[in-house]
């Protein structure tokens, strides 16, 4: 207990040096936390995807569509519970820079397939009733100040023209990982317009979404789907939603790996910085440690003093860093909402922060402790004065 007090007193002997080192740890923990959060935000789509949902698309590429007639055939495959379908619409709201995901979907089956989108019953009913109805996630609605009943016009990029929608529902996410920045409307609305303006593109859908009875059968069902449409005009590729999302992420995997590496590199850097601080400190106090040893204190005591001080610095920096991580992540998340619809600091990141700081504190103390313990008392005493 007395030694603990000494550890604290020692820690703040060089106020400037200690403060700068704590600041360093703080910045590193902050950077580490934000980088980890970016990485998990990157995988948010994968994280949020369900193992009991499959995505079927044209085997050539996502750009090519599939006939709507496939729906009935897919429905009849054993193990299939529910089939929905939709198109990536790619509409722009007012200006190019207002980017968000928007889809044309079959409303009833889509909402059934995505129970994580929580919509009040009356909004759900209104959405299904009105052909021009659309639903937006709460974050998206807040961002643009939309209210129920608002008229929203999207400029089509893939499907030319100005498209008008009535906002009938605003959904909230069931989980933290649920994307609340999506926008979807009736596939029929799109299809009817296509029948008039571009009949060749009518009765086509970009993808099918399949709900299976049992996630364990997901693979069998996906093989069954692709087998049926083998050798047809539009062959299919069916995979789990997770694999599908992963496909998007893996295109940018190199960046994610780089970010991950940087997050570890900063930890190694602070390890070197703290080790240097501790080495300087311990060197200055070699004489004092010799006095302690002279008085009969053992290696354990010396070790406790040096490890204690090192851990004290690391954990103070860690605490401040964690405290700052949350508000900064919030600001960062809201400015980057377009790219990272889901951006929140995971508990796991905090645990990693703590583990990394403990590791940094301990590793930094090893060599100084070893030196302090092994210096002969007579040599240590000689360095005083």
Partner 1 sequence: MMGHKAPLVEIKNLSKSYRRGNQIVPVLEDITFDIEEGEFLALMGPSGSGKSTLLNLIAGIDKPDRGMIKVAGVDISRLSETELAQWRSANVGFVFQFYNLIPVLTAFGNVELPLLLTRLSRKERREHVKTALQMVNLSDRMDHYPGQLSGGQQQRVAIARAIITDPTLLVADEPTGDLDRVSAKEILELMGRLNAELGKTIIMVTHDPHAAEKARIIRHLEKGILNASAQARL
Question: Judged by CB under 8 A, which stretch of 74-82, 178-186, 284-292, 333-341 contacts partner 1?
Answer: 284-292
Nearest to 10 by CA among 285, 357, 272, 373: 285
The nearest distance, CB 246 to partner 1, in angstroms, is 56
Please say which residue, 19 or 232, places its beta carbon nearer to partner 1: 19
Write the burial class of residue 358 (CB in 10 Å: 0-12 exposed, 13-18 middle, 19+ buried): middle
The nearest distance, CB 182 to partner 1, in angstroms, is 60
Among 61, 296, 327, 347, binds partner 1 (CB under 8 A): 296
The nearest distance, CB 309 to partner 1, in angstroms, is 11
3-state secondary structure 318-379: HHHHHHHHHHHHHHHHHHCCCCCCCCCCCHHHHHHHHHHHHHHHHHHHHHHHHHHHHCCHHH
Nearest to 83 by CA among 59, 53, 62: 53
Beta strand 66-67 with 204-205 is antiparallel
Please say which residue, 2 or 147, places its beta carbon nearer to partner 1: 2
Q: Which of residues 305-344 bind partner 1 (CB under 8 A)?
A: none
The nearest distance, CB 19 to partner 1, in angstroms, is 17
Please say which residue, 296 or 327, places its beta carbon nearer to partner 1: 296
Q: Which two three-digit tokens encode residue 244?
A: 């599908």
Distances (CA, A) of 106 to 52, 185, 209: 19, 8, 10
Among 179, 239, 241, 288, binds partner 1 (CB under 8 A): 288
Binding map of partner 1 across residues 364-383, x = CB under 8 A, - = no contact? ------------xxx--x--
Q: Which of residues 7-26 bind partner 1 (CB under 8 A)?
A: 9-10, 13
Among 298, 334, 336, 355, binds partner 1 (CB under 8 A): 298
Q: How far apart are CA 334 and CA 199, in angstroms?
A: 41
Please say which residue, 309 or 353, places its beta carbon nearer to partner 1: 309
Q: Is 303 in the site for partner 1 (CB under 8 A)?
A: no
Among 92, 291, 362, 367, binds partner 1 (CB under 8 A): 291
Question: Judged by CB under 8 A, which stretch of 59-67, 111-119, 126-134, 294-302 contacts partner 1?
Answer: 294-302
Q: Is 174 in the site for partner 1 (CB under 8 A)?
A: no
The nearest distance, CB 302 to partner 1, in angstroms, is 11
Among 19, 153, 232, 294, binds partner 1 (CB under 8 A): 294
Q: How far apart are CA 79 and CA 69, in angstroms?
A: 19
The nearest distance, CB 11 to partner 1, in angstroms, is 10
The nearest distance, CB 373 to partner 1, in angstroms, is 10
Q: Which two three-digit tokens encode residue 221?
A: 């069902």
How many chain residues are in contact with partner 1, going by CB under 8 A? 22
Please say which residue, 7 or 83, places its beta carbon nearer to partner 1: 7
Q: Is 280 in the site for partner 1 (CB under 8 A)?
A: no
**25 touches 216 (CB < 8 A):** no
Among 295, 327, 331, 347, binds partner 1 (CB under 8 A): 295
Please say which residue, 104 or 286, places its beta carbon nearer to partner 1: 286
User: Where do contacts with partner 1 occur on this chain (CB under 8 A)?
Assistant: 2-3, 6, 9-10, 13, 287-288, 291-298, 376-378, 381, 384-385
């Amino acid at each position: 207990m007395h030694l603990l007090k000494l550890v604290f007193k020692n820690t703040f002997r060089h106020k400037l040096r200690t403060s700068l080192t704590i600041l360093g740890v703080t910045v590193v923990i902050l950077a580490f936390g934000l980088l980890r959060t970016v990485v998990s935000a990157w995988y948010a789509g994968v994280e949020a995807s369900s193992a009991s949902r499959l995505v079927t698309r044209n085997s050539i590429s996502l750009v090519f569509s599939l006939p709507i007639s496939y729906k009935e055939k897919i429905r009849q495959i054993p193990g299939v519970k529910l089939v929905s379908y939709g198109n990536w619409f790619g509409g722009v709201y007012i200006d190019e820079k207002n980017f968000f995901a928007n889809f044309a979907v079959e409303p009833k089956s889509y909402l059934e397939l995505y129970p994580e989108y929580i919509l009040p019953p009356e909004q759900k009913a209104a959405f299904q009733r009105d052909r021009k109805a659309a639903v937006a996630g709460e974050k998206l609605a807040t961002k643009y100040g939309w209210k129920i009943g608002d008229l929203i016009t999207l400029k089509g990029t893939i499907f030319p023209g100005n498209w008008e929608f009535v906002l009938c529902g605003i959904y909230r996410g069931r989980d933290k990982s649920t994307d609340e920045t999506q926008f979807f409307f009736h596939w029929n609305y799109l299809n009817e317009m296509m029948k008039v303006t571009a009949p060749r593109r009518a009765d086509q859908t970009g993808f099918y979404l399949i709900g299976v009875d049992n996630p364990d059968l997901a693979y069998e069902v996906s093989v069954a789907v692709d087998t049926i449409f083998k050798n047809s005009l539009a062959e299919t590729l069916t995979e789990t939603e997770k694999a599908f999302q992963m496909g998007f992420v893996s295109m940018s995997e190199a960046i994610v790996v780089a970010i991950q590496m940087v997050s570890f590199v900063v930890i190694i850097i602070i390890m070197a910085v703290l080790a240097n601080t501790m080495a300087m400190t311990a060197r200055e106090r070699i004489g004092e440690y010799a006095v302690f040893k002279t008085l009969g204190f053992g290696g354990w005591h010396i070790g406790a003093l040096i490890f204690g001080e090192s851990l004290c610095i690391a954990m103070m920096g860690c605490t401040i860093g964690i405290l700052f991580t949350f508000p900064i992540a919030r600001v960062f998340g809201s400015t980057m909402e377009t790219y990272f619809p889901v951006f929140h600091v995971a508990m796991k990141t905090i645990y990693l922060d703590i583990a990394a700081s403990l590791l940094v504190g301990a590793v930094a103390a090893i060599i100084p402790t070893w030196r302090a313990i092994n210096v002969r008392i007579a040599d240590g005493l000689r360095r005083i004065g």
